[in-house]
Each structure stands twice: as C-alpha cells, then as structure tokens.
Amino acid sequence: MTDLDEEFGAAMRLALDEARAAGRDGEIPVGAVVLDGSGAVIGTGRNDREGSTDPTGHAEIVAMRAAARARGEWRLSGCTLVVTLEPCTMCAGASVQARVDRVVYGAVDAKAGAVGSLWDVVRDRRLNHRPEVLAGVLAAECGALLSEFFVHRRVR
C-alpha cells in the first residue's frame, strides 16, 4: 500500500462502490466522490449516461454537481475530486472550471485520459486554474473493475 493509497484509500473505496453500482445498472463502472477541505464527502457520482440519456453523465460531472449543490455555489475551491478512472477532456475541463484543488484518480485511461496520459488539460499553463494531480490510488482495483466489466460485455 502506498502513502497515497493510505491517504485517499477510504475515499477511493467509496468511489469504487459508486462504480460497482454503475456497472450493475449497465453503465461503464466509473465512480467519483468530492471531498471538502476537511475530508468530508460532499458529493458522489457514478456514470449514468445510458440511464439519463445525458452525454455529460460522467461520474465526475455528477459528483461535482452534487458537491456544488451541497455547498450552494459552483466554486469547489478547497475540494478534492476522487475518481476511479483518469478523467476525460470534458471532466478534466470541468474540474478546472469548478476550481477543484486536487484531482485524485485510480486507473490510467490511455485511450481518453486528460490528466496526464493522452492529454494533460489540468496542468496547461494557459489556464487560470491548475489542480494538483495524484494518480494511481488503488489503481489495480480500479482497473480490474473496468477490465472485468468489458470482458463480460464482449462475451454477450
């Protein structure tokens, strides 16, 4: 177990619970939570594009919307976004726009990751806000959940 796993493991396990629930609903199993400055969960989310017929229904967006409602404002300064899969360009951009202090993710997304893999949206110096990025928290567990989902999906 790494220091990051120890620091953010509990939050990532909550995000994994959200991801598993998404998978049971037939969604790609990605989950997210938003922590306030004290570490309390103020928003949770899971992929729900199929169920909501909303192309923006990614776990991160759902969690950040919930956190913004809980705070009563769109700025999520002082907050940490914890997500099971590296955010895509949309979600990375949303984390910048929301002024999230930190993005913590589990599995790398080599096909669509925008927080260091394929792109690095959140660290682009041309933007007015750049969240800290911490990668690889419970990465094996996060990756295994996605791999298992797609293995079963291809079998059908």
Residue 156 pLDDT: 52
Structure tokens at 130: 């750049």
Say if 146 falls within a structural domain: no
Q: What is the pTM of this model?
A: 0.95
Say if 144 falls within a structural domain: no
Above 70 in pLDDT, residue 155? no
List active site positions. Answer: 60
Say if 155 falls within a structural domain: no
d(CA 112, CA 128): 23
The answer to whether 8 and 104 are in contact (CB under 8 A) is yes
**88 known ligand binder:** yes
* Residue 109 domain boundaries: 3-139
CATH label of the domain that carries residue 80 = 3.40.140.10
Say if 152 falls within a structural domain: no
**91 known ligand binder:** yes
> What percentage of the chain has pLDDT greater than the value 70?
97
Above 80 in pLDDT, residue 150? yes
**Domain count within the chain:** 1
**129 known ligand binder:** no
